[in-house]
């Protein structure tokens, strides 16, 4: 019983900042502090007319979409190889691919910055951010897709091939529909990670900032803070929707594969 | 020859895993080697001098600021890890042993949601919670527990530790939960049938079997926290800056990328050395018990 109380207190600790967000987004004062003064939706209307914010959002959506698709494709390769094939140095190779999960993000950022700018003398653009985001998203995609590929019976694809399908069409017709919920779930998670990522994007963004980089700029001006709160409220609501869809699809995928749900993304 | 290799089980597996492997090679391993080489070069404003030199490392060893920052960073990372793992263990234990199986994924989902949402704004909101006129101070004053706002919780190392511990909480819960889920429940019954108390059963069965998860949690919190510059920048004030802030400054503001690279290498070596020591000590401890 006391454990349950502790767990609930812990959840409150986890949600404390997120609960404050909408409170200040609708608060009619420029200072982010209690007591509250009144209700307003001005901060949201201000968002609608901010041109440079719109450009940043567009950038971020593009980066997140390309990163999500690419890292999920790489994740499918790794998860399929991990679950359905035996090959030499398997543990080492899989561990190496998962390494970005524990690599400090600043290390990823500075090492790519050095390679792109100093060694290849290329400019920074959205593509440099995408390259880095694919690297850090792939381990998360693999973790989600592992759940979908494990316990998938290789005999099903073999049966399709015995019945005359090629290896690729056997994959497309048999395996792909079974792992589809996992694939979409993985894309949604990668999309959310990329959309929210700041540490790397700050180093690698070119002339046009991503949304988190733009928010970082706003945080220095006290006058723009209520607008940031309004933007944050929308972002949190959006990511909760995306994550809920991802979770529901992940569960459906597990049910299709006939695996008992052990819970969790990782 | 090639087609034979590609149709073998081994070959098909390697072919399948090669796209993500090559990607990690090109965008992780190669840049890491590049930055290692880079740390032995020097830069004078925009021109890069590629003669091999240990000057960057000499500067790090000689100027006390770098050592002090590194020490503080390691202290913060270690404290964050300790706080996060200690706070997370009871939650993971509750989830694994006391939550109905069909409710477990709901709980895990609730725990992971805050982790995925707007990192920058979450860090900023801790400022609102811990600040001079913040939620905690106004709350405590209204209740009458304190007369003046507490000042030890913002713009110092404590604030950095609290905020990072919040950011990495799910990272610590999940590995411990997975390890606890794997424990064969009949072992616990057997232990109690043989006369051990509940507490001793926990100490002699549950905790040693959960150790792989705890070690995973420690590594997955300790290593990435060294690379965070957002939290110390927003929460640390003047006395709470960390090594990652210095790396960022060297790269972006001071235009001394080779020194920044050397700092990154030193920080990573320290973290790796500490992590390996921790893993080895733990392995020996577990072996000593069995």
Instruction: Measure in Å the smallest separation between the Cα of B194 and chain A Cα atoms.
Output: 26
**Percent of chain B having pLDDT more than 70?**
97
Burial class (CB in 10 A: 0-12, 13-18, 19+), A127: middle
Which tens digit of pLDDT belongs to each residue from B111-167? 888 877 788 888 888 888 888 777 788 888 888 888 887 777 778 888 899 899 998
Cα–Cα distances (Å) from B57 to A107, A115, B119, B262, in that order, read 17, 21, 33, 6
pLDDT of residue A43: 83
Q: How far apart (Å, rounded) are the C-alpha atoms in residues A121 and B31?
A: 14
| Ordered DSSP codes for chain A | -HHHHHHHHHHHHHHHHHHHHHHHHTBS-SS--SSP--B--HHHHHHHT-HHHHHHHHHHHHHHHHHHHHHHHHHHHHHHHHHH---TTHHHHHHHHHGGGTS-HHHHHHHHHIIIIIIS-PPP-HHHHHHHHHHHHHHHHHHHHHHHHTT--HHHHHHHHHTT--HHHHIIIIIHHHHHHHHHHHHHHHHHHHHH--HHHHHH--SSPPHHHHHHHHTT-GGGHHHHHHHHHHHHHHHHHHHHHHHHHHHHHHHHHTPPP--S--
Which tens digit of pLDDT belongs to each residue from A232-244? 888 888 888 888 8
Instruction: Measure in Å the smallest separation between the Cα of A96 and chain B Cα atoms.
Output: 8
Tell me what the pLDDT averaged over chain B comes to: 86
In this predicted structure, the answer to whether residue B46 has a pLDDT above a threshold of 80 is: no
A241 contacts: CB under 8 Å, gap ≥ 6: none
Q: How far apart (Å, rounded) are the C-alpha atoms in residues A216 and A225?
A: 11
pLDDT of residue B288: 67
pLDDT of residue B22: 94
Out of B48, B90, B121, the one facing A118 most closely (by C-beta) is B48
Does B131 touch chain A if contact means CB atoms closer than 8 Å?
yes
In this predicted structure, the answer to whether residue A264 has a pLDDT above a threshold of 70 is: no
pLDDT of residue B45: 67
Residue A266 banded pLDDT, cuts 50, 70, 90: very low
Residue whose entry in the numeric block shows the structure tokens 């018990």: B289
pLDDT of residue B145: 81
Out of A115, A135, A263, the one facing B24 most closely (by C-beta) is A135
Which tens digit of pLDDT belongs to each residue from B201-243? 888 888 888 898 999 999 989 998 998 899 998 888 877 889 9
pLDDT of residue A177: 85
Average pLDDT over residues A72-94: 89
Out of A6, A33, A232, the one facing B118 most closely (by C-beta) is A232
Cβ separation A262–B181 shorter than 8 A: yes
pLDDT of residue A223: 81
Does B232 touch chain A if contact means CB atoms closer than 8 Å?
no
Out of B12, B135, B225, the one facing A85 most closely (by C-beta) is B12
pLDDT of residue A221: 84
**Percent of chain A having pLDDT more than 90?**
33
Helix (H) or strand (E) holding B44: strand B42-44
ipTM: 0.85
Instruction: Measure in Å the smallest separation between the Cα of A14 and chain B Cα atoms.
Output: 6
Q: Are B174 and B88 in contact (CB under 8 A)?
A: no
pLDDT of residue A78: 93
Residue A260 banded pLDDT, cuts 50, 70, 90: low
Domains, chain A, with CATH or none? 51-257 (1.10.3720.10)
pLDDT of residue B88: 92
Instruction: Measure in Å the smallest separation between the Cα of A44 and chain B Cα atoms.
Output: 16
In this predicted structure, the answer to whether residue A265 has a pLDDT above a threshold of 60 is: no
Which tens digit of pLDDT belongs to each residue from B241-259? 899 999 998 888 877 888 9
Domains, chain B, with CATH or none? 64-289 (1.10.3720.10)
In this predicted structure, the answer to whether residue B290 has a pLDDT above a threshold of 60 is: no
In this predicted structure, the answer to whether residue A201 has a pLDDT above a threshold of 60 is: yes
Cβ separation A6–B169 shorter than 8 A: no
B244 contacts: CB under 8 Å, gap ≥ 6: A104, A106, B73, B226, B227, B228, B229, B232, B267
Residue whose entry in the numeric block shows the structure tokens 């411990």: B176
**Chain B residues closer than 8 Å to A67 by CB:** none
In this predicted structure, the answer to whether residue A33 has a pLDDT above a threshold of 80 is: no
Does B161 touch chain A if contact means CB atoms closer than 8 Å?
no
* Chain B residue closest in CA terms to A251: B105
Does B202 touch chain A if contact means CB atoms closer than 8 Å?
no
Please tell me the total number of residues recorded for chain A in this structure.
Answer: 266
Helix (H) or strand (E) holding B186: helix B185-193
Cβ separation A7–B135 shorter than 8 A: no
pLDDT of residue B222: 92
**Chain A residues closer than 8 Å to B126 by CB:** 17
């Amino acid at each position: 019983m006391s454990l349950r109380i502790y767990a609930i207190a812990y959840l409150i600790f986890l949600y404390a900042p997120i609960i404050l967000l909408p409170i200040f987004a609708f608060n009619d004062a420029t200072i982010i502090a209690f007591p509250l003064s009144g209700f307003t939706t001005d901060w949201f209307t201000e968002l609608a007319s901010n041109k440079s914010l719109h450009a940043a959002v567009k950038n971020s959506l593009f980066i997140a979409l390309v990163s999500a698709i690419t890292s999920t494709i790489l994740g499918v390769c790794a998860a399929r190889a991990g679950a359905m094939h035996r090959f030499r140095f398997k543990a080492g190779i899989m561990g190496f691919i998962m390494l970005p999960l524990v690599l400090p993000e600043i290390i990823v950022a500075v090492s790519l910055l050095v390679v792109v700018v100093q060694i290849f003398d290329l400019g920074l653009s959205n593509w440099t951010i995408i390259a880095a985001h694919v690297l850090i998203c792939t381990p998360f995609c693999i973790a989600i897709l592992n759940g979908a590929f494990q316990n998938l019976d290789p005999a099903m694809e073999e049966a399709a091939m015995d019945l005359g399908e090629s290896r690729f069409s056997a994959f497309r017709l048999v395996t792909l529909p079974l792992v589809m919920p996992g694939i979409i779930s993985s894309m949604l998670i990668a999309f959310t990670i990329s959309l929210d990522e700041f540490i790397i994007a700050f180093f690698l963004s070119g002339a046009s900032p991503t949304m988190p980089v733009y928010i970082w700029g706003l945080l220095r001006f006290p006058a723009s803070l209520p607008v940031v709160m309004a933007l944050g409220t929308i972002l949190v609501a959006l990511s909760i929707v995306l994550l809920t869809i991802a979770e529901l699809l992940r569960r459906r995928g597990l049910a299709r594969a006939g695996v008992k749900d052990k819970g969790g993304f990782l | 020859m090639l087609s034979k290799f590609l149709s073998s089980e081994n070959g098909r597996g390697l072919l399948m895993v090669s796209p993500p492997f090559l990607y990690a090679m090109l965008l992780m391993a190669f840049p890491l080697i590049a930055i290692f080489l880079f740390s032995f070069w020097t830069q004078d404003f925009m021109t890069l001098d590629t003669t091999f030199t240990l000057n960057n490392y000499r500067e790090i060893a000689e100027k006390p600021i770098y050592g002090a920052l590194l020490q503080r960073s390691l202290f913060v990372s270690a404290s964050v890890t300790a706080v996060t793992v200690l706070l997370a263990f009871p939650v993971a234990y509750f989830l694994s042993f006391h939550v109905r199986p069909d409710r477990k994924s709901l709980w895990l989902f609730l725990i992971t949601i805050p982790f995925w949402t707007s990192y920058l704004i979450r860090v900023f909101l801790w400022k609102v919670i811990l600040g001079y006129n913040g939620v905690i101070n106004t709350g405590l004053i209204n209740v009458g527990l304190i007369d003046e706002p507490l000042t030890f919780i913002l713009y110092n190392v404590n604030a950095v530790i609290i905020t990072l511990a919040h950011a990495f909480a799910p990272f610590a819960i999940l590995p411990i939960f997975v390890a606890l889920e794997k424990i064969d429940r009949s072992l616990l019954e057997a232990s109690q049938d043989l006369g051990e108390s509940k507490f001793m059963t926990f100490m002699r069965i549950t905790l040693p079997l959960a150790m792989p998860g705890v070690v995973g949690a420690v590594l997955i919190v300790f290593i990435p926290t060294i690379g965070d510059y957002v939290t110390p920048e927003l929460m640390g004030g003047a006395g709470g800056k960390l090594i990652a802030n210095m790396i960022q400054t060297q790269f972006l503001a001071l235009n001394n990328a080779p020194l920044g690279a050397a700092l990154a290498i030193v920080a990573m070596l320290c973290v790796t050395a500490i992590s390996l020591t921790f893993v080895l000590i733990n392995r020996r401890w577990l072996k000593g018990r069995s």
